[in-house]
Amino acid sequence: MYKINNSGWIEVITGPMYSGKSEELIRRIRRVKIAKKKVKVFKPLIDDRYSNDNVVSHSGDSIEAIPVDRPQELISRLEDDTEVVAIDEIQFFSEDIVPICEHLADKGLRVIVAGLDKDFRNEPFTPVPELLARAEYIEKLHAICLQCGDPATRTQRLIDGEPASYNDPVIMVGASENYEARCRSCHDVKDKPKGDIYE
């Protein structure tokens, strides 16, 4: 990655569940700490799957974080000498997170965010698409489809072992009991509206 001198920037780590987004975020945070940069790590309060106050990857790797409920809380938790801001599971925040990330980058901070780019219906997961358009750096990771072993780009939600309905709520915090990675061919959503473009 090229260094942008005298300027902040936004980095987005994205992909489906189980693609290693949090693991990559933790790796970058550790490198920032080795470089003796002042970093603040945040996570959404709603994400308490593995820990209330740590970013935790599905493989069990973890790093201390500050849980916040609203994006505006990030600003008040920063210190004057903060140089890097890292945010995990950014898809759980409202769209207000976008101008906050822009503001921090404009102030000269490196902003590293990780989150799902698509929801379980395979539709853009706000606010990540907006951040992808504004970011200087993007890394899109892939998982492994649990059905066929191909590269997985989608997140499959399962309810009692069956594909969830398109009409279910978009946000439902869970892990392997409710989600698995799938490829395009194996991804399935019940009750999904059929397009008639080619019919």
Q: Is 82 exposed, middle or buried (0-12, 13-18, 19+ CB in 10 A)?
A: middle
H/E element, 22? helix 21-34
Would you give the DSSP letter of residue 193? P
Looking at this protein, which amino acid is placed at residue 79? E
CB 118 within 8 A of CB 186: no
Backbone angles phi, psi at 164, to 5 degrees: -70, 160
Nearest to 17 by CA among 130, 137, 120: 120
Residues designated catalytic: 89
The CA radius of gyration of the chain, in Å to the nearest whole number, is 17
